Amino acid sequence: MNTKNNGFRSGYATIIGKPNVGKSTLLNKLLETKISAVTHKPQTTRKKVVAIYNDCNSQIIFLDTPGIFEPNYELQRIMVKIAIHTIDESEVVLYMIDVKHNELDFYILETIKKIKKSVFLIINKIDLVNKNLLLPLITEAKEAFPFKEIIPISALKGLNTKDIISSLKKYLPQEPPLFPLDNISSQPERFFVTEAIREQIFLQYGEEIPYNAAVYIEEFREAKDRKKDYIRAIILVERDSHKKIIIGKKGNAIKNVGISARKNIELFLNRPVFLELFVKTRKKWRENAIILREIGYF
């Protein structure tokens, strides 16, 4: 089939916004599968997540980015750079805001004013506020920037999320698919394994621990003769006190992380795995560019 001649459209769309506005929740809803880590805590997303939406006449490669905010240390600076640089990779930018905060971010507005891209404003969490609050915000948005589309949604409830897909198609070039139509991402499996483990760290520990922890895969052996995949993952922390908390009394805390993460990993990979987790301490790893490079942040 000559998809280009049949009006097939394909291209990239980058999702940007402040931390915790619902970017990853939207991505999962659009693809109707769990592909991006989601928790109630900000800065859950640290790396670019690539997710591929396919239907009969389009392929949209969504790029989920870390939240854009004022960084305080090297890891955060890298996260913000990832988000801003990812904008250059796409035809369309989806700038997402939380309607509860009822404001546009000045720094993000100044960033998108410098690019020559089609920009949508996605107003999320409309299920949580009085609809009368939307009109002033939409009016303010139209005055602040020439958005191609303004789409109020609830990513969690799925309200109006299909409107994003139909609107995006108008702005993508007529091109054949860039990836096989059965792909949901171009990233390796081990990336999603680390994300599944990190998500459980965010969900199961207090406020400080998740931001001081990183995950990387030390060994990933695919199964042979119908045995389980073997995955050895390292949880990296900055202090020995954090290591003790991650492990927990008699190893119960890290055991619970492993059980929950393994279930999600098996659902994603669609095959059984044997997951081993180990904790290592490396002081000030978030400030160390060499360590950040070693564990795959750039």
For residue range 262-287, list pLDDT tens digits in order: 999 999 888 999 999 999 999 999 89
CATH match of 189-294 with 3.30.300.20: yes
Helices (H) and strands (E) in the chain, counts: 9, 9
Angle at 209 between CA 206 and CA 213, to 5 degrees: 145
State the CATH class of domain 9-171: alpha beta
**pLDDT top residue among 254 and 207:** 254
Q: What is the pLDDT of residues 50-91, one digit of tens each?
A: 899 999 999 999 988 777 767 777 887 887 787 777 888 899
pLDDT at 112 > cutoff 80: yes
Rounded CA-CA distance 257/205 in Å is: 10
Q: Which two three-digit tokens encode residue 289?
A: 């560019």
Rounded CA-CA distance 172/159 in Å is: 23
**pLDDT top residue among 135 and 234:** 234
Band of the pLDDT at 244, cuts 50, 70, 90? very high
pLDDT of residue 119: 96
Contact 200, 257 (CB under 8 A): yes
Contact 198, 277 (CB under 8 A): no
What one-character DSSP code corresponds to residue 228? P
In the chain, % of residues over pLDDT 70: 93
Q: What is the pLDDT of residues 148-185, one digit of tens each?
A: 999 999 999 999 999 999 999 999 999 999 999 988 88
Q: What is the pLDDT of residues 33-55, one digit of tens each?
A: 877 765 555 555 656 788 999 99
Rounded CA-CA distance 20/86 in Å is: 18
Domain with CATH 3.30.300.20 in the chain: 189-294
Band of the pLDDT at 226, cuts 50, 70, 90? low
Rounded CA-CA distance 9/120 in Å is: 18
Helix (H, G, I), strand (E, B) or coil at 286: helix
Q: How far is CA 143 from CA 38, 137, 171, in A?
A: 32, 10, 22
Domain with CATH 3.40.50.300 in the chain: 9-171
What one-character DSSP code corresponds to residue 6? T
**pLDDT top residue among 57 and 7:** 57
pLDDT at 3 > cutoff 50: no
List phi, psi (to 5°) of 214: -130, 160
Rounded CA-CA distance 194/143 in Å is: 42
